[in-house]
Amino acid sequence: MTQGSILALDQGTSATKALVVRPDGTVAATGETAIASHPVGADGVELDPEQIWQSVITAARQALDAADGPPAAIALANQGETVLAWDRRTGQPLSAAISWQDRRSEGICAALAEHADEVRQTTGLQLDPYFAAPKMTWLRQRVTAGVVTTTDTWLLYRLTGAFVTDAATASRTALADLDTASWSPRMCEIFGAGIEQLPRIVGNDTVLGECTVLGSSVPVAGVIVDQQAALLAEGCLLPGQAKCTYGTGAFLLANLGQQAIRSEVGLVSCVAWKLAETATYCLDGQVYTAGSAVAWLQRLGVIGGPADLDRLASRSRPGAEVFVPALAGLAAPYWSPMARASLTGMSLDSDRGSIARAVLEGIAANVAVLADATARDLGRPISRLRVDGGLTRSRVLMQAQADLLQVPVEVYQIPDATALGAAALARLALREVPNAAAAVERWRPATIYEPRCSQDEAEARLGRWRDAAASVVERQS
């Protein structure tokens, strides 16, 4: 088959990005359209579904207008746990999109607390508002018409008419059996979901249908949840290889191979991808607020914009100020959804640079705690961490990450690993490449950060952060 470019769509929390990816993995053209999220009270976060859809179309057309000719396929990466209600006959939304950051289904989780271990053993996930199923239950109590799905299913319906989701995204709902990568009748019973109302689960190397929305008829192939797409793009194909994406949140994933283990230390297990009917699994840990914590600093006037972040933070050394980034609760390994952020250790000497530095250190420390938990589940430490996402532009953050992990941190060539992972899956679906390794063979780090502090200093800094996090959790218990 003659190879052509892939239009890879990364539909994220704050923006939709579109990349036209050449057969050699280089980027020919890009487009990007911002999306606004809307806080609802203290715990709600919503998005406008039509704005999501228009951002997909606008970003795609921006990229295609700058490219040479039509693409061979369209690939889609999605934001995972965001859900909405919609009319399957017309494709019209019947609710706002309930963001993965939304915590309003905490009451659902509390009511189902007796099933928490059964949920973990069946799905690999924690019973927590972060995942899709509690939000879907909460939304079904308020919108009785239509179907309730993750946003990828709705977008794919509008693009192709297919009513589907992929194995990796399905495994993030808490409605799927981890071992079989299929809907679990028992989980559907627990969460009150009609299994007949759920989309068909397909492999990540599947051609789903034809899209004519953007012009000529183009196959849609290579669909996946965003974090697993980045894991693939960064070449984490062997058990134990790990990456972290620093976007709105920060997400650390480690390849498990074909063994679907259940975490013993508070992480979650899910499908990384399903290729040729064979599932590969991963461990997953989350920091809910990373880029959104930086945006919070900007709203408060601590920084004028992202360009100020390193300029201010580099003036301060790691000190007494300790920030726990629980602006939307704490995820793994704490699972304290109602936890609130803390900034401690302030003195008369503290200034804007101290606060900016504390926020970056807090994000890095939270990721380091996830890496330590991952090592305990794997039975061996992570030897290096591959990273991507917009916040990897912060040299202060990346150096702090290497220092606290005490391992090299390898930065992906461009921030957009997610879209490139989806493009690689599209090539697999089109049978242009024989396997995943061939699809991502161009992996090379653009920058490598080596630890600059001693292990004793790293442990002391992490110890202060762990103490602060424990206090945050205790106050919410």
DSSP 348-383: TT--HHHHHHHHHHHHHHHHHHHHHHHHHHHTS--S
DSSP state of 124: S
Residue 28 in any domain: the answer is yes
Are 209 and 85 part of one and the same domain?
Answer: yes
- Give the domain range for residue 371: 286-411+447-476
Residue 224 in any domain: the answer is yes
- Indicate the residue type of 249: G
Total structural domains within the chain: 2
Are 105 and 176 part of one and the same domain?
Answer: yes
CATH number at residue 344: 3.30.420.40
Give the pTM.
0.94
Are 370 and 228 part of one and the same domain?
Answer: no
Note down pLDDT in tens along the chain; length 477 residues: 347 999 999 999 999 999 999 998 899 999 999 999 999 998 999 999 999 999 999 999 999 999 988 999 999 999 999 999 999 999 999 999 999 999 999 999 999 999 999 999 999 999 999 999 999 999 999 999 999 999 999 999 999 999 999 999 999 999 999 999 999 999 999 999 999 999 999 999 999 999 999 988 999 999 999 999 999 999 999 999 999 999 999 999 999 999 999 999 999 999 999 999 999 999 999 999 999 999 999 999 999 988 899 999 998 888 789 999 999 899 999 999 889 999 999 999 999 999 999 999 999 999 999 999 999 999 999 999 999 999 999 999 999 999 999 999 999 988 889 999 999 999 999 999 999 999 997 778 999 999 999 999 999 999 999 999 999 999 876
DSSP state of 93: B
Residue 434 in any domain: the answer is no
The per-residue pLDDT for 1 is 36
CB atoms within 10 A of CB 343: 17
Are 195 and 328 part of one and the same domain?
Answer: no
Residue 223 in any domain: the answer is yes
Residue 258 in any domain: the answer is no
The DSSP H or E segment spanning 180 is: none
Are 20 and 168 part of one and the same domain?
Answer: yes
Residue 200 in any domain: the answer is yes
Are 182 and 72 part of one and the same domain?
Answer: yes
Are 188 and 329 part of one and the same domain?
Answer: no
The per-residue pLDDT for 477 is 65
Quote the tokens at residue 264: 């013993």
Distance CA 426, CA 233 (A): 12
DSSP 4-42: --EEEEEE-SSEEEEEEE-TTS-EEEEEEEE--EEEETT
Are 185 and 294 part of one and the same domain?
Answer: no
Residue 158 in any domain: the answer is yes
- Length of the chain counted residue by residue: 477
Write b or e for each residue in 426-447: b if 16 or more Cβ atoms lie within 10 A of its Cβ, otherwise e: bbbbbebbeebeebbeebebee
Distance CA 48, CA 68 (A): 32
CB atoms within 10 A of CB 376: 16
DSSP 296-351: HHHHHTSSSSHHHHHHHHTTS-S-S-EEE--BTBB-TTT-BTT---EEE---TT--
Are 215 and 292 part of one and the same domain?
Answer: no
Whether the upstream peptide bond of residue 333 has omega within 30° of 0, thus cis, is yes
Residue 431 in any domain: the answer is no
Are 324 and 222 part of one and the same domain?
Answer: no
